[in-house]
Amino acid sequence: MTATLDTSRSELGDFLRSRRERLTPKAVGLPLGRRRRTPGLRREEVAELAGIGVDWYVRLEQGRSVSPSVTTVDALARALRLSKVEHAHLRDLTRNADRRAFVRETVPEALRRLVEDLNQPAYITGRRWDVLTWNKAADEIFAFGKLPEEDRNVLICILTLPATRRLFGEAWHDQARRVVAQFRATHDLWAADPAFVDLLSRLRRGCPEFGGWWKAHDVREAAAGRKRMAHPKKGVLSFEHASFRAEDDPALKLVIYTPV
């Protein structure tokens, strides 16, 4: 078994445990019974709700070599009251994909020119959320061009750079936690890769709040929305933002900000 697979199973176990500990007996229609030493449901209760063996479920939480069927995964999702996004993440974690080592993506010239020709702020990120290319309008706000290449990463910028904290102001906390939950879905599938290990280490060192958010194991999907920023030179800026995956490479994501 490869290291990537071992770590993916560890992330699977952590994800299941985090969701089990969030539930209460009342939420799933079980009697409270005797006093509980730890929060959430017991492992045997989850196994019963999902209709699977207790030992088998314990093996899943321990990250041991167990490959659940699609039917079992769906049953666990129902037992743990997972959201649609969480259910999809659970399926991804149990697919046991043999992933190659991460390689920083290359943006095709056609996409690069498209971004550069846009009037509104736009940039393209890769699987690890590295900022791979951007236009002048985006640089005027986020100053990607002034950063060393190793810092051109959405998570590094938002979570560790004081300038970005000031840019988002009071909205920084919600914005930062949201991107952590969005990144978690990808990270869990690449957790053993050195590039992702290094990024996680930097985020732990550079953001005091990160450890608590990461422990919560929240997962979210990317969604369009609004952002309000306080730029030191441009003043208060309001944007609607949306992201689009490239047909050339699904790992590439185009992000566009439209002033409102």
The encoded tokens of residue 160 equal 């560790």
Q: How far is CA 224 from CA 102, 169, 177, 242, in A?
A: 27, 20, 16, 4
Give the Cα-Cα-Cα angle 255, 155, 197 (nearest 5 degrees): 125
Which region, left, alpha or beta, applies to residue 45 given φ > 0 means left and ψ of -120 to 50 means alpha?
alpha
130-152: average pLDDT: 96
Per-residue pLDDT band for 229 (boundaries 50, 70, 90) equals very high
Q: Does the CA dihedral 80-26-217-181 come out positive or negative?
A: positive
Asked if 115 and 245 count as a contact pair (C-beta separation under 8 A), the reply is no
pLDDT range class, residue 162, cuts 50, 70, 90: very high
CA distance 31 to 156: 45
Q: Residue 67: its pLDDT value, please?
A: 79
**pLDDT cut 90: percent of the chain above it:** 79
Q: What is the pLDDT of residues 205-216, one digit of tens each?
A: 999 999 999 999
Q: How confident is the prediction for the chain on average, in pLDDT?
A: 91
Does the structure show a pLDDT above 90 at 248? no
Write out the H or E segment, with its range, that includes residue 230. Answer: strand 225-231
pTM for this model (two decimals) = 0.87
Query: What pLDDT does 144 receive?
Result: 97
pLDDT for residue 49: 94
